[in-house]
Amino acid sequence: MSPVNARLLIATTNPAKLSEYRLLLARYPLELVSLRDLAIAREPEESGATFAENALLKARFYFRLARLATLADDGGLEVDALGGAPGINSHRWLGTEADDTMLAEEIVRRMADVPQGRRSARIRCALALVYKRDHQTVEHVTEAAIEGVIAPAIYRPVRAGFPYRAVLYLPARGCYLAQLGEEEEARIGQRRDAVERADRYLREIARMPPAC
């Protein structure tokens, strides 16, 4: 009989993000479960002032609900010429009615007159883990970013859940981030680096009995 893996909740409702984490965490002997798997529909108020604060806020919230080791992240696009905007407001920058294509189009519109040398930007990710170790709650946050420049046009179609990958151009690779396949995006992206920096904590979770 094969051993039962420890469980890790990936606290997201974004199917594309969940799929990416399944690729990134495939090397760990973990059973990944989603909010949908656990029928959790509640959401915390994202009141943090930084990506790291929001990631930890979400991980704490879902850990308390699920009583499972929990991974949550927060991230978005930072454009230097826009003073770091949209930043922590990346997903609600234009209000709740804006879709992914509208977000990407607005970035291109606002950057239309910005010269090439001032188009630097990055997609940042903060990843938070919350879990129990010997009856003590462990909290760990890592951050990473992928650097590029804002392109003058959108790469279409805009992939659902990842609007800003359609406007971030990677000069070293000669392509948009969105032009890479799903596995290649995961291999070089900001979430990969954040996962790497959390490796020892993920290994610790993987060694825990399934009930933890």
**193-203 confidence digits (pLDDT tens):** 999 999 999 99
pLDDT classification of 138: cutoffs 50, 70, 90: very high
| Architecture per CATH, 6-206 | Alpha-Beta Complex (3.90)
Domain residue ranges in the chain? 6-206
* Single-letter code of the amino acid located at 98: A
User: Looking at the annotation, which residues are catalytic?
Assistant: 74
Task: Count Cα atoms within 13 angstroms, Cβ side, for 152.
Answer: 6
The whole-model pTM stands at: 0.91
**29-88 confidence digits (pLDDT tens):** 999 999 999 999 999 988 899 999 999 999 999 999 999 999 999 999 999 999 999 999
Q: What pLDDT, on a 0 to 100 scale, did the predictor assign at position 25?
A: 96
Q: What pLDDT, on a 0 to 100 scale, did the predictor assign at position 2?
A: 45
Give yes or no for residue 3 having a pLDDT over 80.
no
Give yes or no for residue 210 having a pLDDT over 80.
no
The total number of residues shown for the chain amounts to 212
Kindly state the helix (H) or strand (E) to which residue 121 belongs, with its residue range: strand 120-133
Cα–Cα distance measured from residue 154 to residue 174, given in angstroms and rounded to the nearest whole number: 15
Q: What pLDDT, on a 0 to 100 scale, did the predictor assign at position 4?
A: 67
